[in-house]
């Protein structure tokens, strides 16, 4: 299945890095989060990628055009550099389409602008390119097909701590609680979409707002809950947390190991 990755956002909540590089190129350890996510999909056999570019998209192109896996791993050089061991690239079997989908486009618009690359596809995968998980992807695909959904996604618990509350008409708070003590689930970004999604997505619409509401009305939107590892890189604090986990060797998203 083809994998559509939305890589064009400004990353405004990660200004410490996104002022100079696009958010998908922010590194975990020594490699961009985008590489980690693509490696996840490649592990499950999905190696045909469509990158929906926008903000600083040329830097993502340059990263892959100049990619050299030896910069990120141990290797042996022989015969004055004429031979390297191991000799193969770790992305040699990936096919990547780079598509400029607009600087200010929303997710729905970006998806519509790569529709031509999905001709002949019954279904495809999609993600936001800024989150990682150890979710067993085949389970979501099997569920999506078995239940005849048009769109399915992994739902997970929020990782950030905040409070939710209810306020009455007079402005008095009537209920307050920590989100991790409630039954709140959020869209985890790992999606399976049928080509029919374009019948529900109008020009200018966000993918998960109006189209998903229409699918709910048709009973064609599904989700599987995941209680394992999931984390998004929204803020500098998230970046530090990823780096600390990586440094400790705690890398649950590396399902390929």
Question: Which residue is associated with the tokens 């080509």?
Answer: 195
For domain 2-156+185-248, give the CATH number.
3.90.550.10
Q: Which of 21, 19, 43 is nearest to 32 (CA)?
A: 21
pLDDT, residue 44, reads 98
Residues in CB range of 180: below 8 A, 6 or more apart: 157, 158, 161
Scan for tokens 């440094």, then name that residue.
247
pLDDT of residue 66: 87
Per-residue pLDDT at 74: 76
Q: What is the pLDDT of residues 3-34, one digit of tens each?
A: 999 998 875 555 555 568 899 999 999 899 99
Give residue 11's pLDDT: 58
Nearest to 226 by CA among 127, 121, 147, 134: 134
Cα angle for residues 198, 200, 206 (degrees, 5° grid) = 85
| Confidence band, pLDDT 50/70/90 cuts, at residue 249 | very high
pLDDT digits (tens, 9 = 90+) for 81-106: 666 666 567 888 999 999 999 999 99
């Amino acid at each position: 299945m083809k994998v559509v990755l939305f890589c064009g956002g400004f990353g405004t909540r990660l200004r410490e890095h996104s002022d100079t590089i696009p958010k998908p190129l922010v590194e975990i350890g020594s490699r961009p989060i985008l590489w980690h996510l693509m490696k996840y999909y490649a592990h499950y056999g999905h190696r045909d990628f469509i990158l929906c570019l926008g903000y600083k998209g040329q830097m993502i192109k340059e990263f892959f055009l100049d990619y050299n896996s030896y910069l990120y791993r141990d290797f042996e050089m022989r015969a004055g550099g004429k031979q390297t061991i191991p000799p193969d690239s770790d992305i040699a079997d990936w096919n990547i389409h780079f598509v400029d989908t607009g600087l200010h486009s929303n997710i729905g618009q970006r998806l519509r602008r790569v529709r031509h690359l999905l001709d002949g596809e019954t279904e495809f995968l999609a993600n936001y390119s800024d989150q990682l998980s150890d979710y067993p992807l085949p389970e979501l695909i099997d569920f999506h097909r078995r239940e005849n959904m048009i769109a399915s996604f992994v739902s997970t618990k929020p990782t950030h701590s905040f409070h939710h509350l209810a306020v009455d008409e007079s402005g008095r708070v009537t209920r307050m609680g920590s989100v991790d003590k409630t039954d709140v689930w959020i869209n985890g970004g790992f999606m399976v979409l049928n080509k029919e999604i374009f019948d529900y997505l109008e020009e200018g619409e966000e993918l998960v707002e109006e189209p998903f509401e229409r699918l709910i009305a048709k009973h064609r939107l599904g989700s599987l809950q995941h209680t394992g590892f999931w984390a998004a890189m929204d803020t500098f604090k998230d970046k530090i947390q990823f780096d600390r986990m990586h440094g400790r060797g705690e890398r649950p998203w590396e399902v390929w190991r």
